[in-house]
Amino acid sequence: MRLTVLLVAAWELLGRLLLDAHDANFVPMPSGVAVELFAVAGSGELWAALWRSALRVAVGGSVGAALGVLAGALGASGRAGAVLRAPLALLRPIPPIAWIPLTLLWFGVSELQQVVILAGATFHVVALGVGDAARRVPEGLVAAARNLGAGVGLTTEVRVRAALPGVLTAVREGFAVAWFVLVAAEFVSAAQGVGVLVLEGRDLLLPARTFVGMGALAAAGALTDWAVRGASGWLVRWT
Amino acid sequence: MKRLAALGWPALGVVTLVLLWVGAALYMGKPHVLPGPWAVAETMFSMRGPLVVAAAKSLSRVGVGWLAAAAVALPAGWAMGAVPALDRELRALLSLLRPIPPFVWLPLLLLWVGIGEPSSWMVCFVAALFPILAHARQGVAETPVALAAAAENLGATGLHLWARVRVPAALPLTFTGLKAGWSLAWMSVVAAELVGADGGLGQLILDSRNLARPDLAMSGMAVLGAVAAVTGGLLGWAERRVAE
């Protein structure tokens, strides 16, 4: 922590010493970033941007995660699983960001396009993680349950509970990827959002705004992770 | 026979996907919106020149950035793993910087450094830095204490201890970090090229949107996927060789 504070202070100091007012716009100092932060927060732009982006991540991420859990679970074992896994494995190496221009062609500049990209990105990450978690359930556990007289329903429940931590980790990773991809998607075509804030920094020649956007992004990502962890903790306790 | 059967099911899955694609393309009948596999294949062939050039460009950017990141992050990560004081100091700073998607630095870099390869290299550098660092640190930190102690008992010290015991023990996790860094750098370079960097597969795919050529987009995406898969496979192969 001390190092960070030191570096920020050094940044500020060097900035004040070496830059004149004109250059200070070009290479912002911490104080400049703080000023911009208050400006953007006060004008309401920051909140509107965060809300827009968060909504996209929430919807796209949830859809993708839900489908991913389904696909991961179905694809985990058996012949049907192998059939499902193959085409997914073929599509997976294509970075989700690469889908952006194609989806723009198909869906136009719209919220749907953003949500589709996010859902696709989350889907692959979650499907992979869930499949992994399902396969790693110790067979001994299932066998023990059967020995104690459990039927199909109960053994399935045993599997689900054993795989649950892995599934939740996969969902968390999915949302992290969603934020990553969101920024790229907004970069290419969105009118409002955190990514747009970052871009405005370049367009308006206000790098301080870019830093504000970065900070907002980091905070939003951390908040999402905290929320997902909280929800999964609640889920685990409840089941 | 069993081998054949094992291949059969995945093949069925892939064939199903292709059939669905063909069906959708024929049903829509709009090749400028959803081209069929034949159109994409034809484009991939006719555009093979630009595709290869673009792929090489993206690959070179990732390569430079990743190598630079490894050069910095490997020693730093290993040092952090071995020296807890260093780890504590740097941790806060790194956790602040890590969540920022690497290509977000691109607008700033373009402003400060200008258009050209260095900005892309830096984006890939930043992208690969954190995974390599984190895993290298973890690799050293999680080396069983007994192993290092035993080596020291047998007389290994300083550089010798490092080269012969600590680093090799940390290699599996280090390699995981290198692989993760590579794939993250790859994703970031594509994003950077979509946003402002010149040339490369990302820009090719973007241009295809402006030209309303989804077949070109799909060709670019297929090449992207293939290069990513191949390079990832190569890294995995290298990892297995080193493990011996």
Choose the mutation target among A105, A125, A217 for the interface with B, i.e. most B CBs under 10 Å.
Answer: A105
pTM here is 0.81
- Give alpha helix (H) positions in A92-151: 100-107, 111-135, 139-147
In this prediction, residue B69 carries a pLDDT of 93
Average model confidence (pLDDT) across chain A: 83
pLDDT exceeds cutoff 90 at A9 = no
Question: pLDDT category, A59, cuts 50, 70, 90?
Answer: very high
Q: For residue range A215-226, what is the model confidence (pLDDT) as tens digits?
A: 888 888 888 888
- Percent residues over pLDDT 90 in chain B: 11
Q: For residue range A61-77, what is the model confidence (pLDDT) as tens digits?
A: 999 999 999 888 888 77
- Give alpha helix (H) positions in chain A: 2-18, 21-26, 30-42, 45-74, 78-91, 100-107, 111-135, 139-147, 152-189, 194-203, 207-238
pLDDT exceeds cutoff 70 at A22 = no
Question: pLDDT category, A32, cuts 50, 70, 90?
Answer: confident
Cβ distance B104 to A91 less than 8 Å, yes or no, reads no
Choose the mutation target among B51, B105, B108 for the interface with A, i.e. most A CBs under 10 Å.
Answer: B108
Q: Label residue A193 exposed, middle or buried (CB < 10 Å: 0-12, 13-18, 19+).
A: buried
Domain-wise residue ranges, chain B = 1-30, 35-243
Distances in whole angstroms, Cα of residue A48 to Cα of each of A38, A193, A212, B111: 14, 7, 14, 26
Q: For residue range A76-120, what is the model confidence (pLDDT) as tens digits?
A: 777 778 888 888 888 888 888 889 888 888 888 888 999 999 999
Q: Which residues does chain A have within 8 Å of residue B222's beta carbon, measured at their own beta carbons? A: 94
pLDDT exceeds cutoff 80 at A174 = yes
End-to-end CA distance of chain B: 32
Question: Which portions of chain B are predicted below pLDDT 50?
Answer: none
A31 domain-assigned: no
- Percent residues over pLDDT 70 in chain A: 95
B169-179 burial: b if 16+ Cβ within 10 Å, else e: bbbebbbbbbb
ipTM for the predicted complex: 0.79
In this prediction, residue A20 carries a pLDDT of 67
Dist. CA B213–CA B34, nearest whole Å: 9
A23 domain-assigned: no
The distance between the two most distant Cα atoms of chain B, rounded to a whole number of Å, is 75
In this prediction, residue A239 carries a pLDDT of 60
Number of independent structural domains in chain A:
1
Question: pLDDT category, A238, cuts 50, 70, 90?
Answer: low
Cβ distance A217 to B99 less than 8 Å, yes or no, reads yes
Q: Which residues does chain B have within 8 Å of residue A202's beta carbon, measured at their own beta carbons? A: 107-108, 110-111
Question: pLDDT category, A231, cuts 50, 70, 90?
Answer: confident
For the residues A189-205, what does the mean pLDDT come to? 76
Cβ distance A210 to B108 less than 8 Å, yes or no, reads yes
A14 domain-assigned: no
Q: How far is CA A133 from the centre of its chain?
A: 20
The beta-carbon neighbor of B14 closest among A87, A92, A187 is: A87
CB B124 within 8 A of CB B70: no
Cβ distance A95 to B108 less than 8 Å, yes or no, reads no
Q: What angle do CA B181, B187, B192 make, to 5 degrees?
A: 115
In this prediction, residue B190 carries a pLDDT of 87
Domain with A207, as residue range(s), is 67-238
- Give alpha helix (H) positions in chain B: 2-28, 37-46, 48-82, 84-97, 105-113, 117-141, 145-153, 158-161, 167-195, 200-210, 214-243
In this prediction, residue A27 carries a pLDDT of 74
For the residues A19-40, what does the mean pLDDT come to? 75
DSSP per-residue codes, B104-139:
GHHHHHHHHH-SSHHHHHHHHHHHHHHHHHHHHHHH
What token pair was written down for B242?
């080193």
Q: Which residues does chain A have within 8 Å of residue B217's beta carbon, measured at their own beta carbons? A: 101-102, 105
CATH code linked to domain B35-243:
1.10.3720.10
DSSP state of A191: S
Q: Which residues does chain B have within 8 Å of residue A205's beta carbon, measured at their own beta carbons? A: 111
Dist. CA A61–CA A115, nearest whole Å: 8
Cβ distance A83 to B99 less than 8 Å, yes or no, reads no
We report the CATH number of the domain holding residue A195 as: 1.10.3720.10
Q: Which residues does chain A have within 8 Å of residue B34's beta carbon, measured at their own beta carbons? A: 106
